[in-house]
Amino acid sequence: MSKPRLWITRRLSDATLERAARDYDTVVNHDDTPGSAQDIIAASAEFDAIIPCHSEHFSADVAAQLDPRLKIIANHSVGVDHCDLPALKARGITVTNTPDVLSDATGELAMLLMLGAARHAVAGDRIVREGKWDFWSPSFMVGKQVTGARLGIIGMGRVGRAFAAKARGFDMEIHYYNRSELPTAQAKGAIYHDTVESLLGVADFLSLHCPATPETTNLMNAERFALLPHGAVMVNSARGALVDESALLAALKTGQLAAAGLDCFQVEPGGNPAFAAHDNIFMLPHIGSATTRTRDAMGFRALDNLDAFFTGETPKDTL
């Protein structure tokens, strides 16, 4: 029997590509450029399966034009805001993602953003690197201490919980908002708030871990920044759509926010050029899950989903 034809839209880890080539008739976009709507529509007539990343957009318009040959989209991402799930389901296409395997890497990065933003990591590095470290003073680069501080987490899913586990190592008092309260064993002492507003009132540090949906677009807006304790630090390692970037900048300028750590932006790649002039924004280029171990695990999880599908089972991560 011939192997299913698989299109891999980006250059995934070597281990993933080796396994894919063994089990599927695989074509890889070694150029590593994001697939356009036209590329996706054309591929749907040639391939039974696609492994895309969050850089390929399956809008309702694209979904309507897909060839019936395409049976499964096995995303190499946990976030699926690049996929119009109802439209793809209506076309009978199975869609999966890669939960769990990237939670620690992303939680780690959120911790880096929080520490880096709180302790002026970017400005400090630049001053040393550029040979401008020509004085020291007790009032020089004084930051905000993370240890023992109150942390607010919005979205206590897998990544939120992985981040909370790391924050416990810093003795943080953890508060969270989530659609529903976690069972005690999962909350591990974290304090539940049933509204975002109530959480913001106590969050000296705030970290966003919810998916981008129409309901969470601009979740952090001017009104909500105003509810944080003065001088709070916000971290976003989830999706840029969660933050109104003009409101964020305004809150940073007034000092309502002392600093922000961002791995995600409204516009990606590129980010927000208006942020570049602000030393109190610590920015990274959407690399939350970018560790060798996690990239392999994401690739393997996407392939596990494909294997299940092509052996007639329901893939574990079917959405």
Helices (H) and strands (E) in the chain, counts: 12, 12
- Nearer CB in complex with ligand DGY: 252/284: 284
Closest CA relative to residue 6, chosen from 76, 80, 78: 76
Give the residue numbers annotated as catalytic, written as ranges.
Answer: 239, 268, 286
Q: How far is CA 1 from CA 4, 24, 25, 106, 300, in A?
A: 9, 12, 12, 40, 23
Q: Is 265 helix (H, G, I), strand (E, B) or coil?
A: coil
**Is the CB of residue 225 less than 8 Å from the CB of residue 197?**
no
- Nearer CB in complex with ligand DGY: 212/228: 212
Q: Is 161 in the site for ligand DGY (CB under 6 A)?
A: no
Pick one of 10, 19, 54, 119: the residue that binds ligand DGY (CB under 6 A): 54
- For the CA atoms of 30, 71, 298, 164, what is the dihedral angle to 10 degrees? 140
Distance CA 202, CA 149 (A): 10
CB 52, min distance to ligand DGY, A: 10
DSSP 105-132: HHHHHHHHHHHHHHTTHHHHHHHHHTT-
- Nearer CB in complex with ligand DGY: 77/207: 77
**Is the CB of residue 296 less than 8 Å from the CB of residue 13?**
yes
Binding mask 112-131 for ligand DGY (x = CB under 6 A): --------------------
CB 160, min distance to ligand DGY, A: 14
Q: Is 256 in the site for ligand DGY (CB under 6 A)?
A: no
- Nearer CB in complex with ligand DGY: 53/257: 53
Residue whose structure tokens are 């399966």:
49
Distance CA 9, CA 233 (A): 36
CA gyration radius for the chain?
Answer: 21
Written as six digits, the tokens of 102 are: 């990237």
Pick one of 9, 236, 266, 289: the residue that binds ligand DGY (CB under 6 A): 289
CB 223, min distance to ligand DGY, A: 27
Binding mask 209-238 for ligand DGY (x = CB under 6 A): ------------------------------
Q: Is 53 in the site for ligand DGY (CB under 6 A)?
A: yes
Binding mask 61-80 for ligand DGY (x = CB under 6 A): ----------------xxx-
- Nearer CB in complex with ligand DGY: 85/222: 85
Closest chain position to ligand DGY (CB): 79
Residues that bind ligand DGY (CB under 6 A): 53-54, 77-79, 102, 288-289
